[in-house]
A and B are shown apart, each in its own frame.
Chain A
Amino acid sequence: MQQPGRAAEIKANGIGKSFGSFRALSDLTLDIGRGEFLTLLGPSGSGKTTFLMILAGFVQPSEGRLFSDGADITDRPAEQRAAGMVFQGYALFPHMSVEQNIAFPLKVRKKSAGEIKRRVGEMIERVGLKGHEKKQPSQLSGGQQQRVALARALVFEPGVLLLDEPFSALDKSLRGQMQAEMKRLHQETGTTFVFVTHDQGEALALSSRVAIFNHGRLLQVGRPDEVYDRPANRFVAEFLGEINMLPLKGVRSADNGATGLCEDRAVSLRGNAGAVGDNAILAIRPEYMSIAREAAAGENCIAATATASTYLGAATRLDLTTRQGAKVTVSVPNEVAASALGNGKSVWLTWPAEKGFLLPDGG
């Protein structure tokens, strides 16, 4: 992290952290690639922020080692690691102007006055704060303060930028705007970004890879589509979005997939379907399921009855109950939903073989 202008590559090796008897982080091994945009995702208390603080050097791990570009930085104090950091609530210096805030990391590095002026000017332009140079942070809106925090963290060209839930205080429309801005800054600077959030939509939209945490453990790390379509376990599947789960019996692995019995009907799965046991849970995202009037031969389908519908504008969300009592939610075009509704009317739920995946039974 010490070479400016060059994205850092970070390796965490068996990192753990205990606060008294509380185990905040357990046995975390994770490689963060040069220039990647990695999101640490999880509910509060999952260990994601603890890991970010360990990366920044504010928290010392109880065990394990941390490497940056091959050098062991576990014992290096925060001020010598100099990872750029954007805090929740921004943590701007309230007694300094916008300009002085952004100049601070350059001043402590004893850069010449001319260089500081030039780089601060460039950065202010880049984050769109021109005209606000002399203002105090308290005179700025939330979004503008956010930009100052980003500019201050990026101005000294750190090898890695750490972001701790930076958008949690912004309203929804500003959030979207700042997300786009951050994506642009990531591309422009080429720096490694490590981003903490508990918002799965944000994680999927921004990252090149997502690492999902729960109870201090790293559960899965992968590209957004990988973790969304092939979650490693039930927690990841549910945390990343709505999911339908149906009990599956007599599971057998088959050519490039698996087969089994769902509600006494043979169903098949294609692709990397997940762990195979005799009993498992078949998981399918609501948007991959559709409604049919007739059961088509050779396709996955089970019978269900619609119990409620919610109009969402672009689509309608239908809640259904299968014959054996499983609850299923699907998102379908509005006219399909209308035809499916009716007193006790039975419909067929279908889904493509490659969209279903297996989760271990009960886990």
Chain B
Amino acid sequence: MRGILSDRMGAALLMAPLLLFLVLAYAWPFLGVVKWSFTLPQPGLGQYDALLTDPLVQSVFVRTLRIATVVTLVSVTAAYAITVVWVRGTPAQRLVAEFCILVPFWISVLTRAFGWLALLSNRGLINTWLQSIGFISEPLTLVRNEFGVVVGMTHFLIPFAVFPLASAMRSLDERVLLAARGLGSSRMRTFWSVFVPMTSSGIIGSALITFVFSLGFFVTPAILGGGRSVMVAELIYLRIFQSPDWGLGAAISVVLVLFVGVLMALLFRYVRPRQMI
């Protein structure tokens, strides 16, 4: 009993600096944001009322959910394929996959956003190339719209989507797959009716992480959306630094944090945290 107690005390002491930092740098200021949302410009629920009625705010919320959903679907699907190669491929394939997963971590999100801009803009590499081989006559609008935002965000989030999937695939008992084949199931059938269902916890974890990250994206949509595909984080920025309408910005922040909080609660309920890393 004393051992458990001292273990707990030890763990608490080790976590204390982080908790203290989070409280001082995050939770405490956030309480101030909550306060603003109820007090600026005048006390009351006026800002939350505006959230429900303002068509601009609503369209931004809808767009954010739409982009986050598409990004999640594309990222998790792509990450699944990469992870299968990474976890189950030949040593050479694994090396290539690992390289593809890790390299994006070394390049800043800003650099990557500008990189995509250079690739996707009207006079960017892709349009110039497609025009020069005569495939198109007018440049395609690949950027400063939702498409560009989705591409940039997906590229950023795939590595994060990989890790929960990798841990689910690593913990899978190889013999179960052999058993399926031995019972007459083709490789395709084994993949769909055994491999995918058995890694479903990884899929849920991966999707939730990607979705939650997508909701708060700022840099990528700001650059690749070009002011036309404004997402929630950018709207908060605009309301606080440009309008300025601190009360509304604060109310949107509170709603976003609550929504993410609910999703995180779901994540921890259905996927053990251990499985996510």
Contacts and interface: CB of A to CB of B under 8 A. Distances in A.
A58 B181 CA distance: 9
A83 interface: yes
A93 B189 contact: no
Interface residues of B, number: 19
Contacts of B130: none
B204 to A, nearest CB: 13
B183 A95 contact: no
Contact of B186 (A79, A87, A152): A79
B168 to A, nearest CB: 12
B198 A58 contact: no
B24 interface: no
A78 B190 CA distance: 12
Contact of A104 (B175, B180, B198, B200): B180
B183 A91 contact: no
Q: Is the interface of A mostly helix, strand, loop or mixed?
A: loop
Contacts of A153: 183
Interface in A60-97: 77-80, 82-85, 87-89, 91-95
A111 to B, nearest CB: 11
A93 B178 contact: no
A99 B181 CA distance: 18
Contacts of A109: 184
Interface residues of A, number: 27
Contact of B173 (A58, A80, A89): A89
Chain B binding surface SS class? helix
Given A94-B198, A108-B189, A58 B183 contact: no
Given A85-B183, A104-B183, A153-B183, A91 B189 contact: no
A165 B12 CA distance: 46
A14 interface: no
Interface in B183-203: 183-187, 189, 193-194, 197-198, 200
B185 A108 contact: yes
Nearest to B184: A82
Given A83-B182, A84-B183, 6 more contacts: A79-B182, A82-B182, A87-B175, A89-B173, A94-B176, A105-B185
Interface of A: 56-58, 77-80, 82-85, 87-89, 91-95, 104-105, 108-109, 152-153, 156, 162
Contact of B182 (A78, A88, A92, A93): A78
Interface of B: 173, 175-176, 178-187, 189, 193-194, 197-198, 200
A56 B200 contact: no
B185 A95 contact: no
Contact of B176 (A57, A78, A84, A93): A93
A92 B176 contact: yes
A14 B151 CA distance: 57
B178 A156 contact: no
B183 A82 contact: yes
B183 A152 contact: yes
Contact of A78 (B181, B197, B200): B181
Contact of B185 (A58, A79, A85): A79
B185 A87 contact: no
B182 A156 contact: no
B275 to A, nearest CB: 14
A79 B184 contact: yes
A78 B173 CA distance: 18
A85 B179 CA distance: 7
A77 B186 CA distance: 10
Contact of A89 (B175, B180, B182, B193): B175
29 contacts: A57-B182, A58-B178, A58-B182, A77-B181, A79-B181, A79-B184, A79-B186, A79-B187, A82-B182, A82-B183, A83-B182, A85-B178, A85-B182, A87-B175, A87-B179, A91-B175, A91-B179, A92-B179, A93-B180, A93-B198, A94-B198, A95-B197, A104-B183, A104-B193, A108-B184, A108-B189, A153-B183, A156-B183, A162-B182
Interface centre among A77, A83, A94 (most CB of B within 10 A): A94
Contacts of A56: 178, 182
Q: Give the residue among A82, A84, A91, A156 with the most B Cβ atoms within 10 A.
A: A91
A320 to B, nearest CB: 47
B194 to A, nearest CB: 6
A129 B152 CA distance: 54
B178 A87 contact: yes
Residue of B179, B185, B198 contacting most chain A CB atoms (<10 Å): B179
Nearest to A95: B197
Nearest to B199: A95
Q: 8 smallest A-B Cβ distances: which pairs?
A: A91-B175, A105-B183, A91-B179, A85-B182, A82-B184, A95-B197, A108-B185, A78-B181
A296 B177 CA distance: 65
A105 B178 contact: no
A286 to B, nearest CB: 39
Contacts of A77: 181
A162 B173 CA distance: 19
Contacts of A108: 183-186, 189
Nearest to B173: A91
A88 B189 CA distance: 23
B193 to A, nearest CB: 8
A215 to B, nearest CB: 25
A94 B181 CA distance: 16
> Which of B173, B182, B189, B198 has the most chain A CB within a 10 Å cutoff?
B182
A58 B190 CA distance: 14
